[in-house]
Structure 1
């Protein structure tokens, strides 16, 4: 089979949420079909990683349109910014040049390039329109209007795409249900994220990043929900914990920290920026935290921490997509976060047992091979 794989970002390295999912799916499909990857690059300087050469033919189209230009085009044309930001004549030509028996389209921004008359699976991952609706609830008046507009227009586009493709995929059953509740029709299927439990294993790490009581948060640190999460935690949760544990520190581990994140750096807060390997930081964590107020689907940061046998304290939003069966602690407000984390800091045996249960749950429930098996039938592989 000739399979066209469309992606809004090069699916390598698998070091952030979207790339983790797209890379493992690409690898799964490449073992079963001849895959042609057509993706956007982050500017003209990005080249195809050699690690992808054995998986697919690779065509990269530079994405150079600024957010301001995309917003102006969206307002002029009555379109969502999410689409105009990824509008490209070069991408249209690249897709048209590839013959395909089927298409796997990763991320809603790429749905505008689905070729007519070719069987297609659309991987929305999350309900992006719902994410913008959530942003609208939190924004100031001008931004609130823009986010509501984006949620409305993008939601209508998502529903049109779902009605024409062979299947629409989401990262969790909760996201799939949310999409249906919003009026979407067609075949809507949850295909969950997995974890490479052999790579994310305590025994795989020899260098531990830090010593002493340490809380660790991992993620892309220019992503708004991550930024808001660490700011809230550092301001509303960490001070109360530090009064009880004066040497306790928080490590914010992830690339591209915004100015707001960098401003959190202090003797109590480590801001690492990009790291070559997140696993030593997870191994060093006394507790991993996921205090996201707005989260969609399955949080890879939580799966990775669980796989590393670390105790995790997460908000309900961050834990919702994961079938954790009680192997992490859920706490929403600041007082609940303080109590949950303090209980683990005070009882190392409980923390160790919770981490061991979390790793066992990940191995049982989130192996990539099992998670991606439904793709074979959906694409006729």
Structure 2
């Protein structure tokens, strides 16, 4: 029996959000190999806060044998402080753990008897380069969102300050270097798509980088009865974390540049905006835009799928693969998306989804859904490819390759360590 430690931002139950779904998918894989513990940040909305009201469902889904709360140090407010921490080896958004949490993590990783340590996100690896060589080999970093690509600028508020702009440029270089070190030093690194792997490392990608696709969590085709959305009125659905800058930017762009034309063509049109922690600008624009309903922090999104005719994914930046696309495909709703919104997924415009890049192309794409045969065909083909390419079986196959690789490298490290410490003669 194997033993795994998962290190995460949030306690991922109940799994309402994309980050939690991926964490639990990976944790369930490791649970199939043996026991799983979790260490998560107590300075975020996690653990006990999320668990309130979850009741029996949380208890049923909770696969973690041990739970450890961690804390991180506050990131410096001043530009000088931020520059200083970056050149010390912690480029933003990598944040140092508190001394007590770092000591706890080191003790767990070095002496806790874990075969694998799964770290969700690069930003949670601060200090890990100080682990022993053998311990480093059992660390698996799930890079997930690749911050050094189009997501990087979304980490910061806009500025015209020359010094801040210079710091951000230097920090990006340091973050890219930090990312490369993680790939070369630790046991393995995971990304969500072949495109992320290619964009980051090209044809010379390290053998320690593995593509592990996103899959849906506890929801699957057939588990939630859905009627066809074809006869629904012209209501669209946008789902996503509303404090996550790519979602916010994409939604605001859609409301300003696309939605007005859509409303002109379909006067009874509406848009349901569903997500957690909406930023003030999201609340404001939804409140003043006719036909738009904002539903923040809802306990379950299924009713909103039932009320819509199509799902929109108006993303202009980001990386990885979109769980919202997979969910829509399994809940019998056609997807209208920008190219960036489906990037990393093996889908074809006009076959599995409808592509748009401005108001006219959106209206043209939506108009094709007036034909019921086209509507149903899009839904069916999208569901089929998700079940084939983004199933739990696909994740298990990918992770099987990861753990085999990590086991082999770790065995080599142990053998080398034994030879190095063997007495002479």
Structure 2, gaps ≥5 residues long: 52-57, 408-425
| Matched-pair contact (CA < 8 Å) for 1:7–1:105 | yes
| Matched-pair contact (CA < 8 Å) for 1:202–1:283 | no
| Matched-pair contact (CA < 8 Å) for 1:5–1:106 | yes
Compute the TM-score of the two structures, normalised by the length of structure 1. 0.88
**Residue 94 (structure 2) aligns with:** 83
Describe the shift of the 1:136–1:199 C-alpha distance in structure 2 as closer, same or farther (beyond 3 A): closer
The CA deviation string for residues 316-339 of structure 1, in whole angstroms up to 9 with x for no partner, is 111111112431112223332232
Query: Residue 256 of structure 1: SS of its match in structure 2?
Result: coil
Are 1:334 and 2:334 an aligned pair? no
Describe the shift of the 1:37–1:15 C-alpha distance in structure 2 as closer, same or farther (beyond 3 A): same
| Matched-pair contact (CA < 8 Å) for 1:136–1:144 | no
Compute the TM-score of the two structures, normalised by the length of structure 2. 0.80
The structural deviation recorded for 1:181 is 3.4
1:312-327 → structure 2 map (5 Å cutoff): 312-325=335-348, 326-327=351-352
1:1-381 → structure 2 map (5 Å cutoff): 1-43=2-44, 46-47=47-48, 49=51, 50-51=58-59, 53-63=62-72, 65=74, 69=77, 73-77=81-85, 78=87, 79-84=90-95, 86-98=96-108, 99=112, 100-114=114-128, 115-116=131-132, 117-118=134-135, 119-133=138-152, 135=154, 139-142=158-161, 144-181=165-202, 185=206, 187-196=208-217, 198-199=219-220, 201=222, 203-204=224-225, 212-265=233-286, 266-325=289-348, 326-344=351-369, 346-380=370-404
| Matched-pair contact (CA < 8 Å) for 1:191–1:374 | yes
Give me the whole-angstrom Cα distance separating, in 2, the residues matched to 1:174 and 1:237.
28
The structural deviation recorded for 1:195 is 2.2
- Which protein has the larger Cα radius of gyration, Structure 1 or Structure 2? 2
The CA deviation string for residues 90-139 of structure 1, in whole angstroms up to 9 with x for no partner, is 32122123212332222101222533222222211132111344549994
The CA deviation string for residues 228-266 of structure 1, in whole angstroms up to 9 with x for no partner, is 111111111111011110010011110111111111224
Describe the shift of the 1:89–1:205 C-alpha distance in structure 2 as closer, same or farther (beyond 3 A): farther
Structure 1, gaps ≥5 residues long: none
Describe the shift of the 1:260–1:136 C-alpha distance in structure 2 as closer, same or farther (beyond 3 A): closer
Describe the shift of the 1:150–1:269 C-alpha distance in structure 2 as closer, same or farther (beyond 3 A): farther
The structural deviation recorded for 1:361 is 1.8
Describe the shift of the 1:184–1:362 C-alpha distance in structure 2 as closer, same or farther (beyond 3 A): closer
Q: In angstroms, what is the RMSD of aligned CA positions?
A: 2.9
Give me the whole-angstrom Cα distance separating, in 1, the residues matched to 2:312 and 2:12.
26
The structural deviation recorded for 1:41 is 2.7
| Matched-pair contact (CA < 8 Å) for 2:10–2:41 | yes
Describe the shift of the 1:338–1:378 C-alpha distance in structure 2 as closer, same or farther (beyond 3 A): same
| Matched-pair contact (CA < 8 Å) for 2:262–2:359 | no
| Matched-pair contact (CA < 8 Å) for 1:136–1:148 | no
Give me the whole-angstrom Cα distance separating, in 2, the residues matched to 1:91 and 1:211.
52
Between stretches 45-54 and 257-266, larger displacement belongs to 45-54
The CA deviation string for residues 15-57 of structure 1, in whole angstroms up to 9 with x for no partner, is 2222111111111111212222111134498438554643331
Describe the shift of the 1:301–1:150 C-alpha distance in structure 2 as closer, same or farther (beyond 3 A): farther
